[in-house]
């Protein structure tokens, strides 16, 4: 709902001193002091104004200053009735000054009240208040009607121009405040996203490494229970140690990835399938560097898919294909199938759900399921 223009106050940012440059503030105070000095001189240079009249005049100047400061505060707080009351006091003070033959201070008070009303009050209250001030000035002004009308029109335009200038400054202040808040929110969001990325990366590395170690340690436990020979058990323990070593290396790679330092993706996939007999890696499309998040998603999905293949279809051949498309990169991991291993029921890492979540976070997709031969995992990530 649009606020009524006649009852709308200038914003607090517009009425306050915030956002006003120091040179402009110094100029405004210099003008005020000059006007007050000129009024005091014009009022008291007359030899007829002496004694108690001079004291009353000085007191009137102080009272006018206090009322003007109070008017500044009440308009800043958008308090209409106290502001109108203070304006009436200032207009009454001007009338008293005129009666005491302080004509110049009276004229300045009348015109100043009118201009201040146009600058700082809602238009519905500003126009009547300004009309009273300008009417009083026109009554006591000795100039011709055309001159008085021209002066009043100029002062009214000046008051409204000050209002527009203040509102523009207030709008600028609000926009700057909103921009700063947006930047703070953006920085906080980026920090949270980075923390989530680091946490996800560490989790995926640990999940894969610990899952692989668990496979071999569980195999060693089963071999011990069945009374297997020492060499078989030792092979599993050595494999678990190798997985721990690989996990440490993956952790180092993850830290390098967080710094933006990654080994080529093709080399990583080749090293990943090196220990599997008959497994192969093929790459299609035009090779190019990938964003860190996309590259890490491909690496982690390949690791998890190979771990699942070794666990659920031991000895199966695995074919890994990486296809660089124009707008996306596709990873396809297929195994030749086989009988489930004795460790198929052992808990794994973050599994298919974690892989799918990682893909969806990047706007991609993941499909996993059996095919004619064995099991296939397909990841598509936009780049």
Give, in order, the Cα–Cα distances in Å from 185 to each of 153, 172, 173, 179.
48, 20, 18, 10
Is the pLDDT confidence value at 47 over 50? no
Cα(129)–Cα(115) distance, integer angstroms: 9
Residues linked to residue 367 through DSSP beta bridges, in sequence order: 378
* All structural domains of the chain with their residue ranges: 12-142, 265-383
- State pLDDT tens for residues 298-314: 888 888 888 788 777 77
Is the pLDDT confidence value at 323 over 50? yes
| Residues written for the chain | 383
Cα(256)–Cα(267) distance, integer angstroms: 16
- State pLDDT tens for residues 226-284: 888 888 888 888 888 877 877 777 677 666 666 665 678 888 888 878 766 667 889 98
Which residue has better confidence, 207 or 358? 358
Listed residue (291, 293, 299) closest to 265, CA to CA: 299
pLDDT score recorded for residue 2: 47
- Asked if the 265-383 domain carries CATH number 3.30.565.10, the reply is yes
Average per-residue pLDDT for the chain: 79
Is the pLDDT confidence value at 345 over 60? no
Listed residue (86, 126, 128, 125) closest to 109, CA to CA: 86
Per DSSP, the residues of 101-159 read T-HHHHHHHHHHHHHHHHHHS-HHHHHHHHHHHHHHHHHH--S-HHHHHHHHHHHHHHH
Cα(123)–Cα(23) distance, integer angstroms: 29
Which residue has better confidence, 19 or 120? 120
Whether the CB-CB separation of 17 and 23 falls below 8 Å is answered with: no
Please tell me the least confidently modeled range out of 123-127, 316-320, 335-339: 335-339
Whether the CB-CB separation of 114 and 55 falls below 8 Å is answered with: no
């Amino acid at each position: 709902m649009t606020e009524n223009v006649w009852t709308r106050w200038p914003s607090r940012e517009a009425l306050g001193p915030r956002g006003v440059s120091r040179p402009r503030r110094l100029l405004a105070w210099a003008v005020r002091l000059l006007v007050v000095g000129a009024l005091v001189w014009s009022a008291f240079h007359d030899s007829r104004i002496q004694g108690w009249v001079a004291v009353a005049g000085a007191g009137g100047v102080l009272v006018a200053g206090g009322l003007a400061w109070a008017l500044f505060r009440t308009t800043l707080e958008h308090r209409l009735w106290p502001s109108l009351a203070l304006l009436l006091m200032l207009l009454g003070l001007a009338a008293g000054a005129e009666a005491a033959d302080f004509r110049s201070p009276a004229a300045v008070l009348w015109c100043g009240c009118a201009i201040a009303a146009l600058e700082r009050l809602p238009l519905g209250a500003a126009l009547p208040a300004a009309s009273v001030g300008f009417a009083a000035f026109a009554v006591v002004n000795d100039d011709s009607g055309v001159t008085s009308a021209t002066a009043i029109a100029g002062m009214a335009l000046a008051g409204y121009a000050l209002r527009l200038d203040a509102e523009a400054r207030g709008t600028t202040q609000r926009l700057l405040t909103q921009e700063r808040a947006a930047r703070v929110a953006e920085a906080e969001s980026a920090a949270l996203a980075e923390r989530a990325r680091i946490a996800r990366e560490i989790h995926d590395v640990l999940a894969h490494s610990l899952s692989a170690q668990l496979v071999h340690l569980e195999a060693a436990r089963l071999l011990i229970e069945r009374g297997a020979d020492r060499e078989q058990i030792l092979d599993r323990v050595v494999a678990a140690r190798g997985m721990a070593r690989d996990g440490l290396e993956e952790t180092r790679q993850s830290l390098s990835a967080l710094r933006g330092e990654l080994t080529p993706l093709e080399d990583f996939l080749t090293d990943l399938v090196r220990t599997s007999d008959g497994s192969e890696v093929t790459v299609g499309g035009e090779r190019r560097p990938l964003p860190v998040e996309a590259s890490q998603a491909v690496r982690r999905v390949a690791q998890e898919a190979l771990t699942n293949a070794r666990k659920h279809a031991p000895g199966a051949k695995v074919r890994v294909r990486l296809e660089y498309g124009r707008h996306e990169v596709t990873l396809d991991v297929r195994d030749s199938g086989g009988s489930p291993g004795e460790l198929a029921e052992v808990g794994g890492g973050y599994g298919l759900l974690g892989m799918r979540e990682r893909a969806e976070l990047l706007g991609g997709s993941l499909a996993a399921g059996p095919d004619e031969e064995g099991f296939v995992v397909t990841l598509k990530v936009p780049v």
